[in-house]
Amino acid sequence: MIQDLFNSLEKTIESPKKEEEMKLNVAKRDCVSNIVSSETMKNTQTKILNTLREALAKTYGPMGSYTAIITGNDPKTISTSYSKDGLKVLKHILFDSPIELALQAELVNICRYVEKQVGDGTTSAVILSSLIYNGLIEYISENELPPRVVVNDFVDVVKEIQERIESKSREITLDDIYDISMISTNGNAQVSKDIRDLYEQYGYDVSIDVSISNDQFTKIKEYDGLTINEGYADPSYINTTAGTCEIHNAKVYHFADPVDSPQMVSYFEKILIDNIFTPAQQGMDFVPTVIVCPMLSRDGNGLLTRLVELLHQYDVQNIQTQKPPILIITNILGTDEGIASDICRLCNTKSIRKYINDKIEKHDQETGNAVTMETIHEFAGWCELVVADEEKTKFINPDDIKNGEGKIHKSLTNFLKAEIKKAEANNEDAVTLGRIKKRLRCLEANMIEFLIGGIDISDRDALKDLVEDAVKNCSSAAKYGVGYAANFEGLRATYEYAEKVMNYTIIAGDRNVKFDIATIIFKAYYNATRILYNTITSDKDATEMIRKSLFENNKPFNIGDDKNANVYCSIKTDVEVLNAISKIITIMATSNQCLLQAPSLNGY
């Protein structure tokens, strides 16, 4: 009886009456909503990924072509720039529909992430995103598998491939610096030599900023100081077109203890009111201010919120040149306290401390060793220039170096070197030794400005993009190790993983979804590499080059002008590309519909 009922229900679902079917079709025609179906959304996403892949493939690799980017629409505003940088080209491609625009924005974020982490690999990220997504969607459809199951296995496969890539890492050499730069700059031997020379002179911890020269000559400027791995906490601090926060002739304040008591919060507030808030209200000159502290309480964060709101007002009014010159660096905790102390000594700053005993505090205030509301600005040190981005902050020419000939800087450096030798001789634990080495790296991180010259601005701008990629990739390789470029590490690791899983599948005697996913990723890497090799040879020869590189040479072919150069990059390049891709693809593959901002936008 129950079976008969089930059969009748099933029949009703599969074969609706013609009259009901007609009514449903009429309702579909009359109803316009902001809902885009899963099939339509995925078809659109596939189409846009393929379009962007084809556009960026033209710029791919050392032998790829430049893209002319024309901006402006009249003789007075029109200008042309040329770039091979995947992210720059991607940002200038325009669409006029919401799903296309949203996906492009997501890809831009992927490329920004990759560029921030390793410099190079943005074009690979877009090409691989397209190829892997196409493969996954086709696989899910053909096998009628739940997207979530496939995606979960996809994440596991990517993680193991990344681990295999990182296991091939080796320490960097100066020759690697040259080779990496040759790949990133499309074979510019002079620039590659300049970058190599900088690392040879200043060591692998050197910090190199790339910007445009004001003439045809490329210049290199050196600055002394200290660099910490803590940048600005909010983009509202940015006050340059380069996306950095620069504070010239900065008064540097240091809170040695957390700003979590009424008294400490009042000191923190006093600095902000005197240097920033009051000048903003009364139209007075701001006091360039940098505050370093371990952490802020809720009250302290309330003051930060007021500050951020003020800074955003200047962004809205587009008056960055008059924006309050302020930077607050928090989270200097634990092992970084020594680094904060080094900042104080180099900038000649007196620390603002918290007291438990009132008598001791009063005594120290009388002797000038403890702060009061009246003397708080006397506790500030000085630095000629403080520059911060999302990742790091540089203290350039602090008081000790500018006015004290660097005596404290040399003393601290020599002291830490001696401490490292002592720790190594005593077999100190890795944490203790690492803490001392980190302080030394901060002090020895020389700051170099690489100013790109050229005949005109478009010439300099095109080369600047390439040099920035080279510098970031060299920095990443110095930190994490060297691997092969040209997608080879991803190609090799994916093949090795697929071979391992296939052997397991044969033994187990059943189908393995992870093997199928590994095959999809391997095909994507294979086709991405084929696109790369197609810039110099035929499709047939490209296929043979991939076969030889994988099974005979065990390294990629050099497709640049200098056949003697090795095809190297940071070992993190393919790791971070896969990391970024997996984040967006896993979300896209498991989405089953799209809601637009308004029904009027639904032209799909």
CA–CA distance, 199 with 482 (Å, rounded to integer): 15
Full-prediction pTM beyond 0.75? Answer: no
Average pLDDT in the chain: 85
Q: What percent of the chain is predicted at pLDDT more than 90?
A: 39
User: For the purposes of burial, counting CB atoms within 10 Å of the CB of 212, is it exposed (0-12), middle (13-18) or buried (19 or more)?
Assistant: middle
CA–CA distance, 513 with 99 (Å, rounded to integer): 30
Model pLDDT for residues 73-121, shown as the tens digit of each residue: 777 778 888 888 888 899 989 888 899 888 998 888 888 888 888 888 8
**Residue 32 CB: number of other CB atoms within 10 A?**
10
Tell me, what's the pLDDT at 193? Answer: 93
Tell me, what's the pLDDT at 352? Answer: 95
> Per-residue pLDDT for 5 more than 50?
no
Tell me, what's the pLDDT at 7? Answer: 58
Q: Burial letters for 320-348: b for 16+ Cβ neighbours within 10 Å, e otherwise?
A: eeebbbbbbbbebeeebebbbbbbbbbbb
Task: Name the 3-class secondary structure at 53.
Answer: helix
Highest mean pLDDT among 260-274, 336-350, 401-415: 260-274
Tell me, what's the pLDDT at 297? Answer: 86
> Per-residue pLDDT for 509 more than 50?
no
Residues forming beta bridges with residue 568, ordered by sequence position:
484
> Per-residue pLDDT for 387 more than 50?
yes
Confidence band for 508, pLDDT divided at 50, 70 and 90:
very low
User: CA dist 268 to 100, 250, 293, 303, Å?
Assistant: 47, 16, 10, 9
Tell me, what's the pLDDT at 312? Answer: 87
Tell me, what's the pLDDT at 139? Answer: 93
Confidence band for 267, pLDDT divided at 50, 70 and 90:
very high
Angle between helices 513-533 and 147-166 (to 10 degrees): 60
Lowest-confidence range among 328-332, 455-459, 596-600?
455-459
Tell me, what's the pLDDT at 26? Answer: 47
The dihedral through the CA atoms of 530, 535, 541, 545 has a sign that is: negative
Mean pLDDT value across residues 415-423: 90
> Per-residue pLDDT for 511 more than 70?
no
Mean pLDDT value across residues 461-490: 90
Mean pLDDT value across residues 501-524: 76
What secondary structure letter does DSSP report for 549? I
> Per-residue pLDDT for 2 more than 60?
no
Residues forming beta bridges with residue 376, ordered by sequence position:
none
Tell me, what's the pLDDT at 504? Answer: 61
Dihedral angle of Cα 35, 38, 42, 43, to the nearest 10 degrees: -80
Model pLDDT for residues 424-445, shown as the tens digit of each residue: 888 888 788 888 888 888 887 7
CA–CA distance, 600 with 597 (Å, rounded to integer): 9
Helix or strand holding residue 82 (H, E): strand 79-83
Q: Residue ranges of the domains in the chain?
A: 2-31, 38-169+485-601, 174-224+450-480, 228-404
Confidence band for 316, pLDDT divided at 50, 70 and 90:
low
Asked if 393 and 250 count as a contact pair (C-beta separation under 8 A), the reply is: no
What secondary structure letter does DSSP report for 85? -
Confidence band for 229, pLDDT divided at 50, 70 and 90:
confident
Lowest-confidence range among 16-30, 44-58, 142-156?
16-30
Model pLDDT for residues 14-39, shown as the tens digit of each residue: 444 455 554 445 444 456 788 988 88
Tokens of 330: 């928090």
Mean pLDDT value across residues 201-216: 82
Lowest-confidence range among 47-51, 119-123, 519-523, 549-553?
119-123
Mean pLDDT value across residues 557-568: 74
> Per-residue pLDDT for 126 more than 60?
yes
Mean pLDDT value across residues 507-535: 84
Tell me, what's the pLDDT at 369? Answer: 93
Asked if 268 and 302 count as a contact pair (C-beta separation under 8 A), the reply is: no
554 φψ region: left (φ > 0), alpha (ψ -120 to 50), beta (else): left
CA–CA distance, 1 with 8 (Å, rounded to integer): 11
Cβ neighbors of 323 (< 8 A, separation 6 or more) are 239, 311, 314, 315
User: For the purposes of burial, counting CB atoms within 10 Å of the CB of 525, is it exposed (0-12), middle (13-18) or buried (19 or more)?
Assistant: buried
CATH topology of domain 38-169+485-601: GROEL; domain 1 (1.10.560)
User: CA dist 474 to 14, 45, 176, Å?
Assistant: 61, 34, 8
Tell me, what's the pLDDT at 510? Answer: 53
Could you report how far apart the first and last alpha carbons of the chain are, in Å? 46
Distance of CA 504 to the CA centre of its chain: 37
> Per-residue pLDDT for 356 more than 50?
yes
Q: What is the CATH number of domain 174-224+450-480?
A: 3.30.260.10
User: CA dist 507 to 500, 501, 512, 531, Å?
Assistant: 11, 10, 11, 35
Q: What is the DSSP string of 450-466?
A: EEE--SSHHHHHHHHHH
Residue of 34, 200, 61, 177 lying closest to 471 (CA atoms): 177
Residue carrying structure tokens 């770039």: 83
Cβ neighbors of 187 (< 8 A, separation 6 or more) are 62, 560, 561, 562, 565
**What are the φ and ψ backbone dihedral angles of 240, each rounded to 5 degrees?**
-130, 160
Q: What percent of the chain is predicted at pLDDT more than 70?
A: 90
CA–CA distance, 328 with 232 (Å, rounded to integer): 7
- Return the ∠ at Cα 68 (arms to 473 and 186), rounded to 5°: 30
> Per-residue pLDDT for 145 more than 50?
yes
Mean pLDDT value across residues 439-453: 82
Tokens of 297: 């309480």
Residue of 525, 524, 531, 532 lying closest to 559 (CA atoms): 532
Tokens of 466: 């390439």
Tokens of 364: 């120290």
Single-letter amino acid code for the residue at 354: K
CATH topology of domain 228-404: GroEL (3.50.7)
Tell me, what's the pLDDT at 177? Answer: 96
Tokens of 285: 């000159």
